[in-house]
Amino acid sequence: MIAVIILFVVFGIAAGPLLARVRLTWLKRLVSWLVLAALIGLADRAMAASEPLPRMIGICCVLLGAMKGLVYAEWAGFQGLSMPRYAVFAFLWFGMDPGTFQTRRAGLTWKDDVGLGLLLMLAGILGAWCVWVMEWRHIFLMFLPMSLGLHFGALRVLKGALRIAGFSVRTLFPNLLKTQGIGDFWSRRWNVGYSQMMQRLVGKPVGKRLGEGFGVMAVFLGSGLLHELAITLPVRAGFGLPTLYFTFHGALTLMERKLGRPIGRLPALLAVMLPLGLLFPPAFQQEVIARCLDVFAITRGWMP
């Protein structure tokens, strides 16, 4: 099963340079999205008998590989990356800006990223262990330490490692406490690579044809659908809730633009946190997030 998923991931990534050579933009985009849909369908079918957690991991790996191919095909044209550098972008980084890997630079700073990343990883692991020990099962309490350790810790260490190698990658999860509003949160604070990807693949094409407002809403609706693949499809429950979550945030973003000002840090963070149960439906909380915490069961023998 693992070999099949790896094959799908490699196929999705390998499709990028091939699709980049398609001259007709509409055809390239159509085939790219069809490749993604086909790979996700095949991965879901291949893992139909698996438990929700490994099914989620498998589907997300295939989804990430296919999205790497889509982004590269949209970006590269006939002048792209060398195959070794494309492999670094595709397999070793979670960002979505292939241009970062065109050149290597000497003297990039990295020590602060590695040091802070390791510290946050440790804090996240300890926090998740406390949540497991105390048997807290509220979605925010489960998600916070896991996100701290992975998004803000491990990915920061990975950023430092790539900067040591000479690639000027950006922080994917900058300081959330500097959030000014919903639009700022989703475009500049939370998973910058993902927002770049959605803007490149969805926002700009739709906005160019239908207007900026439609482009913004298309990004959020597209995000909802992609999260359905990563969250509700693996657990076979909660369909439509992640899309509702992102539709709500798309509407808030458009409201901010109409008002001409952001809604502020606290309202934005509350709007993100309070409806987390929509983004992560109960079945996903129980079958995936809580199961991830169960890894700490190995520490039972260490406890008095």
pLDDT tens across 271-291, in order? 999 999 999 999 999 999 999
Q: What local confidence, expressed as pLDDT, does residue 86 receive?
A: 97
Q: What local confidence, expressed as pLDDT, does residue 71 receive?
A: 96
Measured CA to CA in angstroms, residue 203 lies from 143, 179, 199, 219 at distances of: 28, 21, 4, 5
Whether residues 100 and 128 share a domain: the answer is no
> Could you tell me if residue 303 is inside a domain?
no
pLDDT tens across 207-239, in order? 999 999 999 999 999 999 999 999 999 999 999
> Could you tell me if residue 279 is inside a domain?
yes
> Could you tell me if residue 289 is inside a domain?
yes
pTM for this predicted structure: 0.94
Whether residues 230 and 283 share a domain: the answer is yes
The share of the chain scoring above pLDDT 70, in percent, equals 99
For residue 36, give its domain range.
1-104
The structural domain count of the chain equals 3
Domain edge (last residue) among 89, 104, 119: 104
* Whether the predicted pLDDT of 302 surpasses 80: no
Whether residues 9 and 43 share a domain: the answer is yes
Domain edge (last residue) among 104, 128, 149: 104
DSSP string for residues in 108-135: ---HHHHHHHHHHHHHHHHHHHHHHHHT
What angle (nearest 5°) sits at the alpha carbon of residue 295, between those of residues 294 and 298?
105
The share of the chain scoring above pLDDT 90, in percent, equals 94
Whether residues 113 and 150 share a domain: the answer is yes
Whether residues 186 and 99 share a domain: the answer is no
> Could you tell me if residue 253 is inside a domain?
yes
pLDDT tens across 24-81, in order? 999 999 999 999 999 999 999 999 999 999 999 999 999 999 999 999 999 987 678 9
Domain edge (last residue) among 80, 104, 128: 104
> Could you tell me if residue 117 is inside a domain?
yes
* Whether the predicted pLDDT of 304 surpasses 70: no
> Could you tell me if residue 127 is inside a domain?
yes
